[in-house]
Every structure is written in structure tokens, then in C-alpha cells.
Structure 1
Amino acid sequence: MNKRPAALAATALALALTLTACSGSGEDAESTGSAASGTTVSHIHGLGLDPASRRLYVATHEGVYTPGAQGKPEPVGDSRDDFMGFTVAGARTFYASGHPTSGGNKGLIKSTDAGKSWKTLSLAGESDFHALDFAHGTVYGYDSTNGLVRTTRNGVSWRDGARLEAIDIAVSPQDTGLVLATTADGVARSADGGRTFARAEKPVMAYLSWAARDALYGMDPSGGVHRSGDGGRTWKKAATVPGGRPQALTAVDAEHILAATRTGVYESKDGGHAFTKRLAVASNGTH
């Protein structure tokens, strides 16, 4: 594997994806924050739906937000840190990573109150996970600081895996060892839990999300949503999400998809064929 510094690796991959790119149903829940007039959201890093409340959560460069009663972004909790990796692990239970407003790396953090407060678990100051996935009782992460795929069951002790240049990872809901990673050359496959990866195969995808055995979703650099029923061996394009270059993708189940682009957060409940806007994005931002 290429062992350039992780920062250079991430920059190279982001550039590769940029060069290939072109250019609701809001359930009410308890208030999670009072948005000031004119609150806007930009640069989205992660999406999730709390299985308890069915409420949408959006991890951004300026904290975590949720759509309010009128579809306007409302801040969740008091943190305005840069939330990079983000995943919903269960009812009101989220894992995340990123950067504090004061600088540095957050390591792995966890919330058990739907994002209102966060507890540091490990690697504070050491690691920034740009991608997180929770499956089989395990957190799978791509540590962009060190260019490593890493896993943990308790949030504290980590097993280091392969070193590679990636943007996103996805774990099979059936097979604990099957992990996919998006790279500038295509989708790379691991059969041993991320310890090693085979050579990447096209098509190139920016983001992946694996909701069910026969429902792996990929979002290409121009916002096209593709579905694979055979674990990424073959793909079929469903539609293109409005807004151009993608920012995040989460499959809630086999037909329910959340996708973020430079113009907003969109939702599909028919396997990616039609999307409706759930939240507007003010500007595209940069990493």
C-alpha cells in the first residue's frame, strides 16, 4: 500500500474525486436546541436516523443539527465542533469523531442522549476518523490521521488494520469480516475485517452504505446513487441526487436512503429512485 502521510493521501483522493465530479417528511420530536434566526448548515460529513424517534441527525462542520418543525436546521446540544466521522449505533446512541473548535483531533466520542452531550472514549488528540460504521457490536473506523482502518468493540482498545487511502468504509450486515472502502481507483474489498484489502475495482464511489445483504448503496462523485445486490460485484444506477458532488450517504434500510450533496440533505424511500429535500445547505464548504 502507498504509505505517504495520511494528510497528503486524503488530499490526493479528494482531488481525484473532485476532478471526476459534475461541477420532507419531518417527524416532530422533543426539542433538541433553539436555533437562532438565520441558522444555516454547510459542509455535511454524516447522516443518521435515530431508530427510537425516527428523527434525522446531520453531522456538520459546525456541530450536529436536526430539522425543526418547519424544516429549518436546529442545533443539537451545545457543541459546535467539526464532526467528521458519524454513525448511529442504536436508539439515542451515536459515535463520532472530528476536530474541536480549539483545534486538534477528537478521537472517538460517544453520545447516549441523541447528540446532546458527548463523552470521549479514546484516541483524543491522536486520531480523526473520517468514516465510522457500527456493525456486529463493533465500531469500524477509517483513521485519516494515520491512514488506517481500525476496529474496536469497547471503544477503548483498538485493532489496527490495513493502511490505505480511503474516503469511506462500509461493513457487510451479514459477514463481520467483509469490509469495503472507497478509493480513487474504485472500491477495495477486505475479507478479514479490514486487516488487508484486495486491489480496488471500478466503478469509483465516493460513499458507501450497506443496509441489508442485498442492499449495498454507493454514491459516485457526481451524485449518482447505485445499488448492488451482490456485495459490490455489480452495480445498477437508480438515480442522481440533486446538488452535484456528494457529501454523505446513509442507508437506513433496504429502501430508505439519506444522501447529502452541496445543496442539501435528501431522502428516498424507494431505493434511491426519487428524492425529496429534508434540509437545505447554505454553502458547499471545503475540508
Structure 2
Amino acid sequence: MKTYFSGRPATTLGAVLTAAALALTLTACSSGDPAPADGSGSALSHIHGLGLRGDTLYVATHQGIHSPDADGRPRLVGDRRDDFMGFTVTAKGDFLASGHPAPGTDGPADLGLIASTDSGRTWREKSLAGEVDFHALDTGSDATVYGYDSARGVLRVSADGVAWDERAELRALDIAVSPTAPGTVLATTETGVVRSTDGGRTFAPASERVLAYVSWAAPDALYGIDPDGVLFRGTDGGASWTRVASVPGGAPQALTAVDVRRLLVATQDGVYESRDAGRRFERRMAVESGNGGH
């Protein structure tokens, strides 16, 4: 695999242009781009989520869940080609997802929350089928599920993935739950990172740093990536952000922090992995240029 080293910082876009770039991402939803009929290694586009189970990489896309083969080519996991808009791997290793069924599939237009206990080979309905399309999902240390309902612009919270409470209304792209304080939630917005300390009932500005995606794997493993593909590391619960590096491949589509040193990032030309806290990246899977992750 080719290794990419972080270079010098690129010229930073002005705040207005950066916010405008995020605004375009916030309003974009993937379309078209049907998957190849045999699922045999053609490059993917429209990445919506990343995760690991064991040491296997799983990539949630507009065309199903895929894992890379030995040559970095995507292979379909299971037989579902649904548009997995929201995706996360829980601490137990279960998959949670949301989105839309594949074209021609019977059932409601919105999947609600679905779950897999066998790494995406089979799925079962948990709740909200036909009602909700979560574009972002995360879980707390107490297994509380947080989902961002993009159609209504509201955060929903569930203790069991079945019964849900509606919490704050906000315009966001991504969410991240504290790994130690399950009532603390970060969300990325056009004006910066906002934070809730009451389980998503209210949010207040945490930082003016405009980020597209955030991921919080451990107390010292809070990461964010901006619309230009610049990786940042957060401290003080998301109040401060320090630039780490520019991720190869341009604008981001997804970000997952596995631990303090291991990161997964999807950009416009590939899914990349870092094992040294973002200093170097290796491309794990090729991606065709898309119109953003969500």
C-alpha cells in the first residue's frame, strides 16, 4: 500500500467560504451511481460511514457495505445494496445503520434503525422503519443510541434502539458522543462545533472551528476533519482544536477514530488509514470521486 506523508499546511480558506462549503455538504444527499451487478471490485463513491470489527475494514456506501480485498478492491458484504446513510459499530461489535432500501426493494423508503450482529451479512429491523433516515449515528458508553434525523433536523436518543425521545432541533452534519460521559454530544454545524452536556436536549457553541465530521474514540482521541480535508485533534471537550495534517484525496466523506492513534478517513479518491495519529496515511480502498459523503 502506498504511504502518504502529511505536507505543509495549505492556505486556509476564509471563514465564509469554508462555511459555504459545509453548507453544500449539509444539503447534499447521494443519488444515482448504481452498484455493479456482480459487486466484484469496481471503485465505489458516496461513502457514508467507516468502521472496524477485529481488523476488518467495513465501508458503508450508497451501494451497500463493502470491505477491501487483498488488492484494496471493494467486495460487497452480504447481499444488501441499500443506501446506508448512517452507520456505526458499537462497543460490542454490532453494526447499526440507517438510510434507504436499494432500488426495486420492497419496503418503506426509510429504513429507520437496523442492526447486524454478524458484520453486515444479515440485518434486522430495530425501529422507526418508514419514519426516519438517520444521517449520523453514534453510541455512548452506556449503549445509548444517538441518531440525527436529517429530514426533520432533530436529534433522537434511545436507550435500547427501540423507544426514542426527540431532543434538540439543529442543523448538523455529524455527531460524536463522549466515550466517558454519555450525556455529552458534539455536532458539526455551519457556524462551528456545538456541544450538549444534557443528552442532546440543548446545545451551545463549543468552538468556531468549522468541521465536517467528528469522532470521539477515547478521552484523548477526539478528532475532526474540515471540509477541505484537514484533520484536527480536539481537547477540552471540543472547545480547542489543533491542526494535525491534510488527509490525501481532497474533501472528506467520513471519519472514524478507532483509538488515539488509529484513524479511518474516506475522501474523494479513497479510504485511508493512519496508525500514527494522522501523520501518515495508507490507502485501503479506492473511491471514485463523489459529491460528498451525505
Change (3 A) 1:67 1:37: closer
What does 1:170-181 align with in structure 2 at a 5 Å threshold? Answer: 170-181=176-187
Shift of 1:91: 4.8
Query: What is the match of residue 119 of structure 1?
Result: 124
Query: What is the match of residue 85 of structure 2?
Result: 84
Whether 2:217 is the aligned partner of 1:216: answer no
Query: What is the match of residue 267 of structure 1?
Result: 273
Whether 2:251 is the aligned partner of 1:251: answer no
Query: What is the match of residue 29 of structure 1?
Result: none
Match of 1:159 among 153, 156, 165: 165
Change (3 A) 1:74 1:174: same
Aligned-residue CA RMSD (Å)? 2.0
Q: Tell me whether 242-251 or 94-103 shows the greater mean CA deviation.
A: 94-103
Aligned partners of 2:41 and 2:75 also within 8 Å: no
Which secondary structure state, in structure 1, belongs to the residue aligned with residue 279 of structure 2? Answer: coil
Query: What is the match of residue 7 of structure 2?
Result: none
Query: What is the match of residue 42 of structure 2?
Result: 39
Aligned-partner residue type, residue 43 of structure 2: T
Shift of 1:259: 0.3
Change (3 A) 1:38 1:215: closer
Q: Which runs of 5+ in 1 are unaligned?
A: 1-12, 21-33
Shift of 1:201: 3.1
Relative to the length of structure 2, the TM-score reads 0.84
What does 1:1-287 align with in structure 2 at a 5 Å threshold? Answer: 16-17=21-22, 36-50=39-53, 53-102=54-103, 104-136=109-141, 137-199=143-205, 201-285=207-291
Shift of 1:36: 4.4
Shift of 1:229: 2.6
- % identical equivalent positions: 58
Shift of 1:40: 2.3
Query: Across the two proteins, how many residue pairs are aligned to each other?
Result: 260
Aligned partners of 1:109 and 1:120 also within 8 Å: yes
Query: What is the match of residue 31 of structure 1?
Result: none
Query: Whole-Å Cα distance in 2 between the matches of residues 36 and 132 of structure 1?
Result: 26
Query: Whole-Å Cα distance in 1 between the matches of residues 248 and 61 of structure 2?
Result: 19
Q: Provide, for residues 253-283 of structure 1, a one-character-per-residue CA deviation record: whole Å limited to 9, x for no partner.
A: 0110000011110000111111110000023
Aligned partners of 1:107 and 1:125 also within 8 Å: yes
Relative to the length of structure 1, the TM-score reads 0.86
Aligned-partner residue type, residue 188 of structure 2: T
Query: Whole-Å Cα distance in 2 between the matches of residues 184 and 251 of structure 1?
Result: 22
Aligned-partner residue type, residue 86 of structure 1: F
Query: Whole-Å Cα distance in 2 between the matches of residues 36 and 234 of structure 1?
Result: 42
Shift of 1:35: 5.8
Shift of 1:15: 5.5
Query: Whole-Å Cα distance in 2 between the matches of residues 225 and 212 of structure 1?
Result: 17
Shift of 1:160: 1.0
Change (3 A) 1:250 1:37: closer
Query: What is the match of residue 4 of structure 1?
Result: none
Shift of 1:135: 1.8
Which secondary structure state, in structure 2, belongs to the residue aligned with residue 231 of structure 1? Answer: helix
Aligned-partner residue type, residue 47 of structure 1: L
**Which structure is richer in relative contact order (CA contacts within 8 A, separation 6 or more)?**
2
Aligned-partner residue type, residue 41 of structure 1: L
